[in-house]
Amino acid sequence: MRLFGLFMLIFIMWMMIMIVSYFLVFIIGPLQVNLFYNSTDRLVSSIIKASLAIGLVVVLILLLGILKTKYLQKTLLRN
């Protein structure tokens, strides 16, 4: 089936979005940092959470890049 590979590629992309969402909600979301034990901690926590979230999205894009390269090698260059 001609589109099977593309279906799989889209499905993997979807799974990656779901995994990133899971990490953001259940791992990064509840993260709390207590350094100074005052209101500054909330700001520090937010900055760390935002940095981790952006980092996770960058990792997602890098993984997509690797996935794309593998798929291209398998389909276009082989043909």
Partner 1 sequence: MIYLLDIIIYAIIVSAVSFLSIFLITPAFIKYLNKKGKVVVDYHKPGKPNVPRPAGPVLLIGLVISEITLYFLILDVKIISVLLTTIIAFIVGYIDDVKTMPGWFKPAALILAAIPIIILGSHGDYLGLIFDSAFIPILYILLILSIIPIVGNTINSIDVFNGVASGFIIITMIPLLVSVILFGSTNVFLMGLPLLFGSIAIYQYHKFPSKIFLGDSGTLLLGSMYASLSIVGNSEIIGVIALLPAVMNSFLFLSSVKKIVEHRQVKTRPVAVCDDFRLMASKDSSAPATLVRLILARGPLTEQEIIRRIFILGTFSSILAFISIVIQYSFMMGEISL
Q: What are phi and psi of 31, to 5 degrees?
A: -60, 130
**13 binds partner 1 per the rule CB under 8 A:** yes
Any idea of the CA torsion for 7, 61, 68, 14, to the nearest 10 degrees?
-10
**37 binds partner 1 per the rule CB under 8 A:** no
**68 binds partner 1 per the rule CB under 8 A:** yes
Of 43, 50, 58, 59, the residue at the interface with partner 1 (CB under 8 A) is 50
For the chain, give the number of residues: 79
Of 52, 53, 56, 60, the residue at the interface with partner 1 (CB under 8 A) is 53
